[in-house]
Amino acid sequence: MKSLLALVIATMIGLPALAQEAGDPPPPAQEPAKPALDIRDAAEVTLEEFLWVKRLLIVFADTERDPSFRKQMEFILERPTDLIERDVVVIVDTDPANPSAVRRKLRPRGFGFVLIGKDGVVALRKPSPWETREIARTIDKMPLRLDEIRARKAAQQQEAR
């Protein structure tokens, strides 16, 4: 049985090489890599470095094993494009024993997340997980985001002319 399994594995490894012969067309080019969601540890950042540049979604918990923390991160990773399109950096802090500057400034209790606009103002605090879609809707109501949307539409109209 083991020799049969080894034969199957060896055959599978060799097949791609056999399929590509000199006369075959090259494989299609891969799509360009999509931008990845920027997720950082709170110990490595300051809030000031993102002022007027990025929005911040800061996720706090007392441990990485916190079910609410896990659920929030699951929501974030399910729809990262919603956050990427809105210039969001996710900052994670799960170490209350060694409080980061971010934790000292925002003073969370247990699990929670804080959404901070590009202007540095806290726009939302929640003690339970929210789906990324709901976070995106909140961002889309912020004045600076509304300005960004208007500017993008104006640029698209200029290109269409």
pLDDT value at 115 more than 70: yes
User: Once rounded to an integer, what is the mean pLDDT over residues 49-57?
Assistant: 98
User: Once rounded to an integer, what is the mean pLDDT over residues 19-35?
Assistant: 60
Average pLDDT of the chain to the nearest whole number: 86
User: Once rounded to an integer, what is the mean pLDDT over residues 50-62?
Assistant: 98
Alpha carbons within 13 A on the beta-carbon side of 19: 8
| CATH number, domain 38-160, options 3.40.50.1980, 3.40.50.150, 3.40.30.10, 3.40.50.1970 | 3.40.30.10
User: Once rounded to an integer, what is the mean pLDDT over residues 1-24?
Assistant: 41
- Residue 29: predicted pLDDT: 63
- Residue 15: predicted pLDDT: 40
CA distance 161 to 151: 16
pLDDT value at 7 more than 60: no
- Residue 161: predicted pLDDT: 82
Residue boundaries of the structural domains of the chain = 38-160
User: pTM here?
Assistant: 0.77
- Token pair, residue 102, equals 């971010």
How far, in whole angstroms, is CA 67 from its chain's centroid?
19
pLDDT value at 14 more than 80: no
More confident of the two residues 26 and 69 = 69
> What b/e readout covers 78-89, taking b as 16+ CB neighbours within 10 angstroms?
eebebbeebbbb
